[in-house]
Structure 1
């Protein structure tokens, strides 16, 4: 596949410094009336039937799963990043399942035409990174790498990846979300240390700023924005896998916790309208996944097993309009 050039438009003159509002405009969120939640398989210990296997799509309108038998092209990969832009799914980096090389390649899925295309490769090879989108700008953030430190950031413009300001903390297996002009990065792992630190990147200043730490370290979790609150959902720490911590828009973490009915690890989460949709590995049950919808406003939640044949192994989620 030859790389395509999407020539995404980036406004260099827009002033983002005032009028900031919280809204679910993240790499993992959507504000559409009719939408589907795509689940893309991934694995720490790759299995043939999971890595680059078919995607599954949950139609929120009719509450049903369907198989999208269109696997990620090229070499099998795992521990990659997923984000969405212009109603397409972007897969960034990861590790090769055949020889465990760290990758810098990027592929894009367009559900309108039902096919994948190759994008320009990132400057740096990255695994267990995260990705975020502001407008039509795709950011590749952190992750383990043999070409750069784990705090570096690059972004895509007109077919080219360019460097941006590095995070204050090196981290992998962390979470990001976008609030207006800010990319928040939280938790993760640095060396052998699990992190509770939180920082954000502002397009207005071009710098990263640290805010109050999460109440406890988390890795392999997700951030989601609903209303004026940011939620840190589950994670890989035994003491916190069942909790959802809440960050209000004044950068203060709440003492009130939501709790997931099942213990979930390696969670993926997306937010849409007033709901959060969560997929995770059910703690204590090898490779068994759960899918649930949560409404933080009234703590209502409902969880169910994934559809038959949809084996969970560190899946990633993306939301697209239907």
Structure 2
């Protein structure tokens, strides 16, 4: 009885991903500084030729000092931006504390998890988030990706709102041996008939040819450069080349170029599969994103950009026919 009371009273203090956010802030600072420095260099170079005031000044010291100011300003801006988006969270039996706001459960109308929420940064976009809708019509938004163990955060929010004790849901690990007798139907695209496939293989083929010719000419420095470039291109642009297999009992996610990597899910362990097309300015302009959410609220994300519209709809239909809840 005492242990039960301790479970009820014990709050969950959600830990913020300080390291990941810090590295992100640093990367954004470097990126914005590099872009700003390039613009400043071009501008100062032009002014040094046209304006008498700038003729006596060196372009490089001006650019360097401006870059330093830009870098500090960028770090400060992103620090304040993400600090606002990542408040400390504590979930107890009586309330949810988000930053300085204390939300009593009686004041909460509904909690939405695994939904898209607005995230305004440079341009408006929608990302995965948790929305807490209050009875007065206001809402609080939490970005789970900013916190450690987001599945634990979701589990506690759902359980506490229902007045239950949060219990971790255990899902047994799956292995390759479990699917040896399974017969899978695969949903995959043909790389040579797809923009993403061509975008991958044409540069890879070009780099390989240059690498071979460089070796034949004895130019090992050039060969090393193109070998490295080929390796970077291979690993970077293989990310969106996933495909899906469905059997009687399992769902498997594989990658065309990473044969050693695969993710196996029991169909009974899957809570929801979200199929969405993400159109935002990224390295991959149109991403067919597959999000597999298991019953313990953990989530796997896979880009399957080789799937054409026909295969995409066939996948949706097959998931539904196999009793897997889908959204999108």
Q: TM-score, normalised by structure 1?
A: 0.22
Task: Name whichever structure is richer in strand by fraction.
Answer: 1
Q: Which has the higher helix share?
A: 2
**Which has the higher relative contact order, 1 or 2, with Cα contacts under 8 A spaced 6 or more apart?**
1
Larger Rg: 2
